[in-house]
Amino acid sequence: MSQFSRRGLLKTGVAAGVLGLTGLPLRAQTRGGKLTAGLGGANTSDSWDSRTHSDIFMIASCHGTVFDCLTEVAADGSLTGELAESWEASADAKTWTFNLRQGVTFHNGKAFGADDVIESLMMHVGEESKSAAKPIVESIADMKKMGEHQVQFTLASGNADFPYLMSDYHIAMYPAGMIEEAIQNGIGTGLYSVVSFDPGVRFVGRRVDDHYKGDTAGFFDEVEYIAINDNTARMNALMTGQVDTINRIDFKTEALLKANPNLRIQEVTGNQHYSFPMLTDSAPYNDVNVRRALKYGVNRQELVDKILLGHGAVGNDTPIGPANQYYAADMEQLEYDPDKSKFYLKEAGLDSIDIDLSASNAAFEGAVDAAQLMQASMSAGGINLNVVQEPSDGYWSNVWLKKPFCACYWSGRATEDWMFATAYEEGVPWNDSQWDSGDSARFQELLLSARAELDSDKRREQYTEMQQILRDDGGTLVPMFANYVQAVNNRIVSPDTVGNLWQMDNARMAERWSAA
């Protein structure tokens, strides 16, 4: 069996057994009760099609509740098996063999096996596919059923991070031959089956009897996720006891939560970042000098102080954060400098420039305020920013990837290649700056090279250079990294270690938390 040093965390089935199927130490938990969560990030267009999921409401409802993936990132950042029991690779990390769990059934009684894996992955490819996981699946040159519970993947090129990619929340496992029915009704292998689902409003799930995860996860009899996109309404629902937990607390009223003895705040540092992508295939953002002018026009510390109220750190126009292995912490920080903004505008042949910035608090809480702060800071450098406030409902389908300059948030990813392959690789669906022009050629070259590199020191050099390229030439402003800050009623017990890959304990609170 070939194993690779990805922070020492590529767990095989033996190691996964020590942690339990959820990646948590095996310990006594109270079984029973109900978890009611008030979550932002819901849309009326929500569905059980994991290819379309982009925000916490459906990520939490699907991945980690109704559906499962092949692998799972545990709360401590390690990788453990979910529907895959173990995996092994060839010496060049190009061929991966996954051994699947036996005795697993979908909610409709169908047995889980190799055919389900292959057909679920094939959902993401094809010319018309808009799945964010399309680049992950397209990297697989061949999928072969080796037996009812074994699948072999041959990649187009080696990838030491491949098992991590199989934990992507877009790559949920569906029953072969009935995928449309499963999308319509929410038929997965998860710990909770669907009782009711009203898109953009509410989801209710009931604990599955005799689940393959046994008593190591899924301690509630029922879970209910209520869509509460308004920040004030979400806070009030928690304060009045209507819900047990909420995501994205309002920093301005954090003191009220802290003063309530029945509530506690969870704050974890991860790779979540708030960003402002520019479509580099559209003028004026196709000029690197204009992009540089905007980068120097942002007062990053002011955004951290006034928008995050200190719950985060300044960003350096790269999505690689403090929870990543190859985070370039020593890279020189871009500082607010209006004179450099003017300099780069002149390099672009301009004395000043008028641009629109589309923003909505659907992108992240405080996005409109952040845009207005940027409007003020950029004006000193000759950049006249017009803030366009967009409707919250439909923001991700109508604004993001469509408007030339807009507000955005990313939860980040557990590995550098996963993040880059999702949002920065040429041609991928979620490349939100469309950074596919000639000035990204070196970055794209390094991306392919680092992916197949098994030497950790060489990988660090390559990923450091990639971060420098993004800082200097990239099409995305990443002015701040935001901590995950959520609140929980004390009648709910959560582990000491809370996941920092996604919000709400890696979106798996239904599996990992329990009633007090």
The per-residue pLDDT for range 60-111, each reduced to its tens digit, is 999 989 999 999 999 999 999 999 999 999 999 999 999 999 999 999 999 9
Q: How far apart are the first and last CA of the chain?
A: 42
Residue 268: its pLDDT value, please? Answer: 94
Angle, helices 416-423 vs 441-452, to 10°: value is 140
The residues, any chain, with a CB within 8 Å of residue 124's CB and separated by 6 or more, are 51, 131, 133, 134, 136, 137, 138, 170, 171
384 by Cβ neighbours in 10 Å (0-12 / 13-18 / 19+) ranks as exposed
400-453, pLDDT tens digit by residue? 999 999 999 999 998 999 999 999 999 888 999 998 767 789 999 999 999 988
How confident is the model over 366-382, as a mean pLDDT?
A: 97
pTM attached to this predicted model: 0.85
Map residue 73 onto helix, strand or coil. strand
pLDDT at 454 over 90: no
Binned at pLDDT 50, 70 and 90, residue 253 comes out as confident
At 22-68, the pLDDT tens digits run 344 444 577 899 999 999 999 999 999 999 998 999 999 999 899 99
CATH no., domain 270-483: 3.10.105.10
Per-residue pLDDT for 18 more than 50?
no
Residue that the structure tokens 């769990």 belong to: 101
Using CA atoms, how far residue 220 sits from 57, 206, 497, in Å, is 18, 8, 19
Q: Which two tokens stand for residue 144?
A: 């072969």
Percent of the chain with pLDDT over 90: 86
Share of the chain above pLDDT 70, in %: 94
pLDDT at 26: 42
DSSP string, 161-216: THHHHTT-TT-----TT-HHHHHHHT--SSSEEEEEEETTTEEEEEEPTT-TTTTS
pLDDT at 11 (0 to 100) = 35
Neighbouring residues of 110: CB distance < 8 A, sequence distance ≥ 6: 175, 178
CA–CA dist 176, 185 (Å, integer): 15
Note whether 338 and 380 are within 8 A (CB): yes
Which residues lie below 8 Å from residue 197, measured CB to CB, with a gap of 6+? 48, 61, 186, 203, 204
Residues 6+ apart with CB under 8 A from 147: 114
Q: Mean per-residue pLDDT for 314-326?
A: 95
Name which of 143-147, 314-318, 364-368, 378-382 the model is least confident about: 364-368
DSSP 283: T
Task: Pick 8 or 344 by higher pLDDT.
Answer: 344
DSSP 421: H
Q: Could you tell me the two tokens for 254?
A: 């954090």
pLDDT of residue 105: 98
Q: What is the mean pLDDT of the chain?
A: 92
Q: Would you kindly state where each structural domain of the chain is located, as residue ranges? A: 1-32+192-262+490-516, 68-189, 270-483
495-511 tens-digit pLDDT: 999 999 999 999 999 99
CATH number of this structure's domain 1-32+192-262+490-516, picked from the four choices 3.50.50.60, 3.30.750.24, 3.40.190.10, 1.20.1050.10:
3.40.190.10
Average pLDDT for residues 379-408, to the nearest whole number?
96
Q: How far apart are CA 481 and CA 299, in angstroms?
A: 14
Q: What is the pLDDT confidence band of residue 128, given thresholds at 50, 70 and 90?
A: confident
- Is 68-189 a domain of CATH 3.40.50.300? no
Would the pLDDT of 9 be above 70?
Answer: no
pLDDT at residue 437, as a whole number: 63
Residues contacting residue 257 through CB under 8 Å, at least 6 positions apart:
235, 238, 239, 249, 263, 265, 487
Q: Residue 16 above 50 pLDDT?
A: no
Whether 2 has a pLDDT exceeding 70, the answer reads: no
Residue 512 has pLDDT above 60, yes or no: yes
Q: What pLDDT band is residue 168 in, cutting at 50, 70 and 90?
A: very high
